[in-house]
């Protein structure tokens, strides 16, 4: 009688589809667990804080630069305005000085006319007088074209801003109120409505 081959006791049969256990596998699950790697590109909190501080520093610096720019722009604008005002003032002063020189010539011409009128009956003097009058009219027309006008003073109340008192007279004898301008010794002129030269006048007291 032939003996049957038997598998040894305690040994399980192994088939072709059974895989051997992996090395290092845990007893509970049978599969080894590996530690999870850190997320790619992750930034640490201290790096974020440093970036925020740097950003705030740049923001403050940009704000300071902007304020400095605004102050510089305002200073430049003020300088331009001041320079333009100084230029206008210089031109106005030069203009007034030149006109005062012309007015002195007008005064001399008027005095010459006054002297010539005393002997106007003479033919030669009459011709000179006419020439003086024409020159006088021409000068006044040119002055008017430049904004210069002769101010009226006789009969007006004395105004220190427009008149310069050089003589006084009795208001009672003149029959006027005290402080009234009685006569003009030297005419005054205004330039564009502003006093160019005050009138020298005789005032009632």
DSSP alpha helix (H) spans, 23-179:
45-118, 123-145, 171-174
pTM > 0.75:
no
Per-residue pLDDT tens over the stretch 16-61: 554 555 544 444 454 445 554 555 567 788 888 888 889 999 999 9
Q: Are residues 65 and 136 in the same domain?
A: yes
- Among 151, 183, 156, 150, smallest CA distance to 167 is for 183
Residue that terminates a domain, selected from 101, 120, 146: 146
pLDDT at 5 over 50: no
Q: Which residues constitute the domain of residue 66?
A: 46-146
Q: Are residues 135 and 159 in the same domain?
A: no
Of 10-19, 99-108, 147-156, the one with minimum mean pLDDT is 10-19
CB-facing half-sphere around the CA of 72: CA atoms within 13 A: 6
Stretch 97-126: mean pLDDT: 84
Q: Are residues 123 and 160 in the same domain?
A: no
Cα dihedral 98→102→105→106 (10° resolution): -150
Residue 118 within any structural domain of the chain: yes
Q: Are residues 98 and 190 in the same domain?
A: no
CA distance 129 to 117: 7
Q: Are residues 69 and 131 in the same domain?
A: yes
CA distance 195 to 163: 10
Residue that terminates a domain, selected from 146, 171, 191: 146
Per-residue pLDDT tens over the stretch 113-171: 888 887 766 777 778 888 888 989 999 999 999 899 999 999 999 999 999 999 999 88
Number of domains in the chain: 2
């Amino acid at each position: 009688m032939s003996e049957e081959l038997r598998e040894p006791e305690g040994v399980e049969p192994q088939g072709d589809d059974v895989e051997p256990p992996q090395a290092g596998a845990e007893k509970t699950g049978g599969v080894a667990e590996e530690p999870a790697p850190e997320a790619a590109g992750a930034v640490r909190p201290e790096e974020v804080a440093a970036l925020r501080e740097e950003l705030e520093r740049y923001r403050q610096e940009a704000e300071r630069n902007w304020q400095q720019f605004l102050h510089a722009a305002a200073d430049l604008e003020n300088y331009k305005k001041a320079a333009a005002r100084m230029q206008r003032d210089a031109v106005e002063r030069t203009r007034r000085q030149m006109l005062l020189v012309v007015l002195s010539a007008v005064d001399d011409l008027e005095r010459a006319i006054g002297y010539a009128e005393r002997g106007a009956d003479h033919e030669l003097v009459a011709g000179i007088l006419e020439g003086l009058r024409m020159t006088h009219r021409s000068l006044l027309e040119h002055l008017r074209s430049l904004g210069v006008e002769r101010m009226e003073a006789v009969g007006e109340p004395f105004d220190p801003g427009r008149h310069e008192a050089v003589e006084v007279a009795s208001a009672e004898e003149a029959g006027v109120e005290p402080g009234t301008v009685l006569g003009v010794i030297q005419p005054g002129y205004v330039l564009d409505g502003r006093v160019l030269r005050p009138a020298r006048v005789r005032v009632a007291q």
